[in-house]
Amino acid sequence: SKITGKGRVTQYDAALNSVREQQLAIENEIRSGMERDEFEVWYQPIIDARSQKMTSVEALVRWPRRPAGELGPDAFISIAETSGLIYALGQFVLRRACQDLEPFSDLKLSVNISPAQFRDPEFEEKVARVIEMTRFPANRLQLEVTETYVLENPERARAAISNLKALGTAVALDDFGTGYSSIGYLRRFNFDTIKIDKSLAGLVDNDEQAAALVSGTVRIASALGMAVVAEGVENEKQMKLLRLAGCDQLQGFWFSQPMPIEAIIELRKVRYV
């Protein structure tokens, strides 16, 4: 531009290029990681607030990424999305999670779904096929979506949600409290569950307003027939306040980190007091 001069523009282009190059490098690593079967699915317990027992788990993808070392999903999911690799990766996570949890009929399963996956007009059919292949009961499965997806194409979202419900699968709204979700918007989509984001739930122990917002959300959800999960519970005080606020289920490091399936099986009889 005229104001900054050519030097700046070139610097900016160079920075953009190197970001793009890094993304391409990770994209290629994801592709070869998938070929080498490097991706794993770990599970984080979801605790029933009344019985204090693990009633469900959330599947979370893990990438040990040999030899470079572990890369967290926040660093690679978006690259998998823009490159289209999320379709295969998402399908892998869903299939593996259903296989892993199938034998444990006392546990439900919640799986994250990217907006990109939902855009696939055959998404619901693919879910139906995984359920059939793995013999995982549809009524033990919940899919977690974010509002980005719902706002992007409300008509498609409504159709997808109702098709999934017809299969018997539940749908949760993830990361509630981070975006623009309003009561009107909650009413238009038939979610089974609202997951209150850790950026709100994690504040209840030193912010009265956050606690009041959680109680309010619980009341709205219950008027709409939706259950509430609080995420990111990290200490006992938060746990107690979130139970008091009426959350149905709790999830966070206070109870357990995400773990491989074998460790989950060991943990599932624990009662969290």
Positions touching Ca ion (CB under 5 A) are 112, 144, 174-175
| 177 and 196 Cβ atoms separated by less than 8 Å | yes
Cα–Cα distance, 33 to 38 (Å, whole number): 5
262 binds, among ligand C2E, Ca ion, none (CB under 5 to 8 A by kind): none
| 148 and 185 Cβ atoms separated by less than 8 Å | no
Tell me: does residue 45 bind ligand C2E (CB under 6 A): no
Q: Which range of residues in 30-38, 130-138, 157-165, 226-234 is near ligand C2E by CB under 6 A?
A: 226-234
Which residues are bridge partners to 58 per DSSP?
A: 44, 110
Q: Which of 33, 45, 177, 252 binds ligand C2E (CB under 6 A)?
A: 252
Cα–Cα distance, 63 to 130 (Å, whole number): 22
Which residues in the 107-146 window bind ligand C2E by CB under 6 A?
112-114
If the CB atoms of residues 187 and 237 are measured against ligand C2E, the closer one turns out to be 237
Q: Which residues have a Cβ under 8 Å from the Cβ of 197 and sit 6 or more positions away?
A: 174, 175, 176, 177, 178, 231, 232
Chain-centre distance of CA 199, in angstroms? 14
33 binds, among Ca ion, ligand C2E, none (CB under 5 to 8 A by kind): none
Q: Which of 14, 82, 253, 260 binds ligand C2E (CB under 6 A)?
A: 253
Shortest Å distance, C-beta 161 to Ca ion: 16
Cα–Cα distance, 25 to 32 (Å, whole number): 11
| 196 and 212 Cβ atoms separated by less than 8 Å | no
Shortest Å distance, C-beta 168 to ligand C2E: 21
Tell me: does residue 175 bind ligand C2E (CB under 6 A): yes
DSSP 139: G
If the CB atoms of residues 57 and 138 are measured against Ca ion, the closer one turns out to be 57
Shortest Å distance, C-beta 7 to Ca ion: 39
Q: What is the distance in angstroms between the CA of the first residue and the CA of the last residue of the chain? A: 62
Which residues are bridge partners to 110 per DSSP?
A: 58, 142
Core vs surface per residue 44-59: b (16+ CB within 10 A) or e: bbbbebeebebbbbbb
Binding mask 75-104 for ligand C2E (x = CB under 6 A): --x------------x--x-----------
Q: Which range of residues in 49-57, 165-173, 220-228, 252-260 is near ligand C2E by CB under 6 A?
A: 252-260
If the CB atoms of residues 10 and 80 are measured against ligand C2E, the closer one turns out to be 80
Q: Which of 247, 258, 261, 264 binds ligand C2E (CB under 6 A)?
A: 258
